[in-house]
């Protein structure tokens, strides 16, 4: 099979898997769910030399291993890559790294690896998911040339910033040259631009710029991630945005008023920095209320899975299901 045919097969296989999977309010593809639905053995291990592996024994026993040493977006992309090897009928593959460029990979990339990369990119960042986030946030083509917006897109898709740059090439938003230039942007600097000094407690942690547009979505985040929630108080009418702390696990880390306008009647913008004290599935709720009579003008409600990356053993969800069965 030619490399081109192998890539096209990967594109088509990814589209089939995507179409078979329920999405709901998730902004990212549920890769763990897709692997579990196919009863594919999956283990996470502290592998030092490999990002992941697809292992097949006599074409009968097949399984996937992914390292616990990398962050959630890279774990997700690696898992999708290994699922690609499996569904495309490849032989055992021990992957020291994975390519984020998918079908835009350099020609030196072996055909089966380029195909698995393509499968991963098409499954986790298909045009449909990309468009859904772009529409929700008003990210026009021009805005998707800005590193800050590409970073926020990558968080919502659950892929790395680099992988998002290349997915935008596949979707004809960026050229290869633009992606090459943009992917060199320091993600650390993008995070720092969003967060007050000292508020990022762990170098893996991401900073989500959330707005009302994120309402009613389900986000998959890291356990130390910081959520910068931008709200606009309708202060002249007596309304302020307040965090509704349903479970006391939500902590306000800081609050800034970057574009406070003191002119009479003007709406004032604020950014509230929030973090969760414990890992888990959380609901982040803000209400735009009149404090004295509790009249509610608007509400922001975002579901966040804050477990972060997978730890040693089975996928967290599989562990929970097994526990439920034996309980
Ligand atoms: Zn591979």
pLDDT in tens, 176-225: 999 999 999 999 999 999 998 888 888 889 999 999 999 999 999 999 99
Model confidence at 19: pLDDT above 60: yes
pLDDT tens column, 236-292: 888 999 999 766 788 999 998 865 445 545 566 889 999 999 888 999 999 999 988
What are residue 280's phi and psi, to 5 degrees?
Answer: 150, -175
Quick one: DSSP state of residue 26?
B
User: In angstroms, what is the span from residue 63 Cα to ligand 1's centroid?
Assistant: 13
Domain(s) labelled CATH 1.10.10.2910 in the chain stretch across 3-126
User: In angstroms, what is the span from residue 100 Cα to ligand 1's centroid?
Assistant: 12
Cα distances (angstroms) measured from residue 287 to each of 10, 160, 259, 275? 45, 31, 20, 17
Residues, Cβ < 5 Å to ion ligand 1: 93, 95, 113, 116
Angle at 104 between CA 115 and CA 34, to 5 degrees: 45
d(CA 188, CA 121): 23
User: In angstroms, what is the span from residue 64 Cα to ligand 1's centroid?
Assistant: 11
User: In angstroms, what is the span from residue 197 Cα to ligand 1's centroid?
Assistant: 39
Domain(s) labelled CATH 2.60.40.2020 in the chain stretch across 201-305
CATH 1.20.1250.30 fits 3-126, yes or no: no
User: In angstroms, what is the span from residue 202 Cα to ligand 1's centroid?
Assistant: 29
pLDDT tens column, 307-319: 999 999 999 998 9
List all residues 6 or more positions away from 90 whose beta carbon is below 8 Å from its beta carbon: 54, 112, 115, 116
User: In angstroms, what is the span from residue 33 Cα to ligand 1's centroid?
Assistant: 20
User: In angstroms, what is the span from residue 53 Cα to ligand 1's centroid?
Assistant: 7
Report, as an integer, the average pLDDT of 118-137.
97
Cα distances (angstroms) measured from residue 152 to each of 147, 164, 208, 221? 9, 10, 7, 12
Q: What is the pTM of this model?
A: 0.94
User: In angstroms, what is the span from residue 80 Cα to ligand 1's centroid?
Assistant: 10
User: In angstroms, what is the span from residue 113 Cα to ligand 1's centroid?
Assistant: 5
User: In angstroms, what is the span from residue 108 Cα to ligand 1's centroid?
Assistant: 14
Model confidence at 305: pLDDT above 80: yes
Which class is 201-305 in CATH? mainly beta
CA-based nearest residue to 163, from 244, 71, 281, 294: 71
DSSP string, 275-287: EESSSSEEEEEEE
Report, as an integer, the average pLDDT of 95-117.
94
User: In angstroms, what is the span from residue 67 Cα to ligand 1's centroid?
Assistant: 14
Report, as an integer, the average pLDDT of 48-77.
95
Helix, strand, coil shares of the chain as percentages rounded to 5?
Answer: 40, 25, 40
DSSP string, 88-144: TT---EEES---S-GGG--TTS-HHHHHHHHHHHHHHS-HHHHHHHHHHHT--TTGG
């Amino acid at each position: 099979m030619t490399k081109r045919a192998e890539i096209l097969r990967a594109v088509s296989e990814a589209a089939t898997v995507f179409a078979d999977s329920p999405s709901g309010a998730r902004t990212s593809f549920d890769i763990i769910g897709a692997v579990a639905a196919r009863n594919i053995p999956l283990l996470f291990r502290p592998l030092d030399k490999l990002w992941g592996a697809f292992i097949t024994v006599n074409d009968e026993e097949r399984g996937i291993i992914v390292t616990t040493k990398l962050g959630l977006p890279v774990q997700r992309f690696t898992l999708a890559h290994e699922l690609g090897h499996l569904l495309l009928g490849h032989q055992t593959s021990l992957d020291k790294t994975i390519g984020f460029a998918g079908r835009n990979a350099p020609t030196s990339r072996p055909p089966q690896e380029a195909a698995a990369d393509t499968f991963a990119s098409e499954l986790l960042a298909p045009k449909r998911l990309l468009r859904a986030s772009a529409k929700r946030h008003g990210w026009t083509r021009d805005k998707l040339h800005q590193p800050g917006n590409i970073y926020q897109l990558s968080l919502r898709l659950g892929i790395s910033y680099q992988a998002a740059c290349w997915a935008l090439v596949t979707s004809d938003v960026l050229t290869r040259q633009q992606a090459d230039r943009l992917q060199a942007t320091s993600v650390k600097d993008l995070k720092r631009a969003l967060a007050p000094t000292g508020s990022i407690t762990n170098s893996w942690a991401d900073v989500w710029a959330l707005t009302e547009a994120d309402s009613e979505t389900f986000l998959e985040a890291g356990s130390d991630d910081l959520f910068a929630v931008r709200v606009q108080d309708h202060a002249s009418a007596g309304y302020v945005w307040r965090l509704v702390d349903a479970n006391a696990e939500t902590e306000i880390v800081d609050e800034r008023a970057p574009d406070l306008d003191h002119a009479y009647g003007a709406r004032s913008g604020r950014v509230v920095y929030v973090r969760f004290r414990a890992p888990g599935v959380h609901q982040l709720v803000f209400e735009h209320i009149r404090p004295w009579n509790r009249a509610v003008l608007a509400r922001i409600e975002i579901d966040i899975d804050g477990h972060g990356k997978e730890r040693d053993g089975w996928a967290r969800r599989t562990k929970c299901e097994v526990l439920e069965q034996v309980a």
